[in-house]
């Protein structure tokens, strides 16, 4: 394993030796969003700021005074959530993000195509047009074709805050870009020593180290999630939507950086060369280096390449 890890960094990778890939293959890679109160507020702020980080701090203060305390104890889809919605609509404070944050239906979207995720050691992609973005450290659930959670891994759901803030209809542009989904280092399957209760108790640590000496640390605590992981899965797969090869479901994050990295009012943007370390005690450590999407290795091994590879090795009998 140590040799695989050593050979997984792009700058030192030897083509004649194996390296780690993302630990999933034919699974559809889905994600759920706005599943933590902390990040819910930041999504509303992005929407109100129209993708402009300079406006975010004042909006953050205003919204915190208006509705921050109202959300912390609300169970999504409950009668109390419906009453809160009525009150916020009457005050002109309702938002599409509040709808998926405290309403009955969770936000679900396709994070990345089949076979496009990158693994630990690889470069994680940021779209060059973005200047307000961040990593999102998450637990990713491994779900079989019957809707049963069979394991978990770590994920970096790379996010472009300025793009999504301009319009929620730009979610695909903000979320699905080359190398913008990192998974790993491995899948930990459920067994007698690790199960869904361990997922519910997972503490994810984040550390970002810039080439300029910049350091940012954060956490995402699964015990703070507003919807149970099994509920997220139940909304993703069932009689209305099947996944014959199973799916990976990213569960969301409470991490949303609010401090400025450089100029006042400019928020946190990644810089090329940032090293992003996402770790938890029972799922290991996922490490990626930030690169522009157009400069990270292009995604070339898709389903056609997989079929040709299997045929060439005589494995399609």
**From first to last of its 317 residues, what are the pLDDT tens digits of the chain?**
888 888 888 778 888 899 899 999 999 999 999 998 877 878 888 888 887 888 888 888 877 777 765 677 788 999 988 988 888 888 787 888 888 988 999 999 999 999 999 999 999 999 999 999 999 999 999 999 999 999 999 999 999 999 998 998 999 999 999 999 999 999 999 999 999 999 999 999 999 999 999 999 999 999 999 999 999 999 999 999 999 999 999 999 999 898 889 888 888 999 999 999 999 999 999 999 999 999 999 999 999 999 999 999 999 87
Note whether 225 and 251 are within 8 A (CB). yes
279 burial (CB, 10 Å; 0-12 / 13-18 / 19+) is middle
Cα gap 302→248, rounded to integer Å? 17
Residues in the chain: 317
- Domains belonging to the chain, first-starting first, are 2-33+106-312 (3.90.850.10)
DSSP state at residue 7: T
pLDDT at 65: 73
- The sign of the torsion formed by the CA atoms of 74, 105, 50, 54 equals positive
pLDDT at 8: 87
In what side-by-side order are the strands of the sheet with 247-250?
107-112, 28-33, 247-250, 137-143, 149-157, 181-189
pLDDT at 4: 87
**Helices and strands (H and E) in the chain: how many:** 11, 13
**Looking at the whole model, is its pTM more than 0.85?**
yes
Cα gap 301→209, rounded to integer Å? 30
pLDDT at 107: 95
3-state secondary structure of 33: strand
Nearest to 186 by CA among 234, 240, 121, 112: 121
pLDDT at 68: 61
Cα gap 289→300, rounded to integer Å? 20
């Amino acid at each position: 394993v140590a040799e695989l890890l050593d050979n997984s960094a792009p700058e030192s990778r030897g083509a004649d030796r194996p390296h780690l890939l993302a630990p999933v293959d034919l699974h559809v890679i889905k994600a759920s969003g706005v599943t933590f109160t902390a990040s819910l507020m930041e999504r509303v702020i992005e929407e109100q700021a129209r993708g402009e980080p300079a406006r975010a701090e004042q909006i953050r203060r205003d919204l915190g005074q208006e509705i921050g305390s109202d959300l912390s104890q609300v169970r999504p889809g409950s009668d109390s959530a419906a009453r809160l919605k009525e009150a916020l609509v009457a005050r002109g404070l309702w938002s599409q993000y509040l709808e998926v944050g405290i309403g009955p239906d969770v936000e679900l979207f396709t994070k990345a195509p089949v076979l496009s995720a990158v693994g630990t050691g690889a470069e994680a992609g940021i779209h060059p047009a973005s200047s307000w973005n961040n990593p999102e450290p998450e637990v990713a659930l491994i779900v079989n074709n019957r809707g049963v959670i069979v394991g978990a891994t770590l994920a970096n759901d790379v996010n472009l805050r300025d793009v999504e803030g301009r319009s929620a209809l730009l979610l695909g542009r903000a979320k699905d870009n080359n190398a913008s989904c990192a998974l790993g280092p491995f899948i930990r399957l459920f067994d007698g020593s690790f199960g869904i209760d361990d997922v519910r108790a997972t503490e994810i640590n984040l550390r970002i180290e810039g080439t300029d000496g910049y350091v940012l640390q954060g956490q995402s605590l699964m015990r703070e999630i507003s919807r149970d992981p099994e509920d997220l899965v139940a909304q993703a797969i069932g009689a209305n939507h099947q996944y014959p090869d199973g799916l990976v479901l990213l569960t969301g994050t409470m991490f949303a950086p609010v401090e400025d990295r450089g100029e006042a009012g400019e928020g946190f943007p990644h810089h090329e060369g940032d090293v992003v370390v996402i770790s938890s005690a029972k799922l290991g450590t996922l490490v990626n280096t930030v690169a522009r999407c157009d400069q990270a290795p292009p995604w070339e091994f898709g389903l056609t390449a997989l079929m040709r590879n299997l045929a060439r090795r005589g494995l399609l009998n």
